[in-house]
Chain A
């Protein structure tokens, strides 16, 4: 049933069946989310700039989620010798890079009016910047080696070593005194954000992840074609 997650042919077939409906759902979610963001109330302190949150938070989550997926597929590729893991690693690294850049830029634009500075050397910001460096190194490693086996396995081992950074990003706001606020939405406690702001945030998160999924499907299919020497 879940063979499409590790088998390229099944993945191709599965993605072909869902692709059209996925595009329709994504555009609906994006339009609906933007409408909700437009109608959402202004913050009594931050005013209009609070709407940066609806881009900043989903892109930060997706940057982390992309890296988690890459870590899982690196383990799958290295331990079970399934090459689809390496295909995914190569295909979705640029997507994570884009989301990280989006997160950093929107956070910077949000920080200027709120904190009075574009950038502070605070633990959360620095660890996300290191995540960006790791993503860029992964992309560079794709062009560094001639042999494909060396390239794939080197990247997979590097992804595993770099995953030390993930818990540091997640818990940096709890471990150190940071200017960045702690998480507003967590699984264990009720969210400290009002429901009128939570709804557009969640819809925007779904829309962002669907956009990322569409790009990922296209990139993975192109990568499979390259491996089969069609491209």
Chain B
């Protein structure tokens, strides 16, 4: 009972932080829309062209805008010692990482769902593709949260090279992009690709708590 209370308190704190920093989320959504506009200005307003490449553009821009929140993932909690405080209350680092990933998924990634239908209107995507996009984004953003957790914990003590965290997220998100966009492109099997995506997300949900906790312990030892 006590344990569940701790987890609920963790999510209460996260939601408070979310409401305090809501402009940050809104500005990353704004970044997403503005980059769509930039793409359309750069490519020209050819409807047929935009419809064929729209899905790929939306996915890669979602990826880029979700890496914007990368530095915030652990850094504040690491710098003001909240991570150690939560750990002292009897929660292991692995579980903290897992809860962090869940809260990032709920509070940062899921609000992007509102922007996806609007973005698909801009590109005139058919309704079936929009549906597929939302479905793959729900699974894919969980994978992205795991990747962001790994790369943010890796770069906790990195004070010089800020862009390498985003590079690592982009590098390991290649399979996610391939499968998520490939769900529409050819006559590939819908259910097999969804199963593959769920499999990848389960793998990363298994790997990322251990590796992130190892990186956090390493960083705390050398703080």
Asked if chains A and B come from one complex, the reply is: yes
From B174, which residue of chain A is reached at the shortest CB distance?
A130
A137's contact among B159, B167, B211, B221, by CB below 8 Å, is which? B167
- Is B148 located at the chain interface by the 8 A CB criterion? no
> In the complex, what residues of B have CB within 8 A of residue A140's CB?
161, 164
From B165, which residue of chain A is reached at the shortest CB distance?
A144
> Do residues B211 and A153 form an inter-chain contact, with CB atoms below 8 A?
no
B-to-A contact residues, CB < 8 Å: 150, 154-155, 157-161, 164, 167-168, 171-172, 174, 211, 214-215, 218-219, 221-222
- Is A190 located at the chain interface by the 8 A CB criterion? no
> In the complex, what residues of B have CB within 8 A of residue A157's CB?
154, 211, 214-215
4 closest A-B pairs by CB: A147-B222, A144-B161, A144-B158, A150-B222
- Is A145 located at the chain interface by the 8 A CB criterion? yes
Complex: A158 Cα to B211 Cα, angstroms: 10
Shortest Cβ distance from residue A123 to the other chain B in the assembled complex, whole angstroms: 10
Complex: A142 Cα to B103 Cα, angstroms: 32
Contact with B along A46-66 (1 / 0, CB 8 A): 000000000000000000000
27 residue pairs from A and B, CB less than 8 Å apart: A130-B171, A133-B167, A133-B171, A134-B171, A137-B168, A140-B161, A140-B164, A143-B161, A144-B155, A144-B158, A144-B160, A145-B157, A145-B158, A146-B159, A147-B157, A147-B222, A150-B218, A150-B222, A153-B214, A154-B154, A154-B218, A157-B154, A157-B211, A158-B154, A158-B168, A161-B150, A161-B172
> Do residues A141 and B222 form an inter-chain contact, with CB atoms below 8 A?
no
| Count of CB-CB pairs between chains A and B under 8 Å | 46
Shortest Cβ distance from residue A195 to the other chain B in the assembled complex, whole angstroms: 40
Contact with B along A116-140 (1 / 0, CB 8 A): 0000000000000010011001001
Residues A71-110 near B (CB distance < 8 A): none
14 more contacts with CB within 8 A, not counting A143-B161, A150-B222, A157-B214, are A130-B171, A134-B171, A137-B164, A137-B167, A140-B161, A143-B160, A144-B158, A145-B158, A149-B218, A153-B214, A153-B218, A154-B154, A157-B154, A161-B150
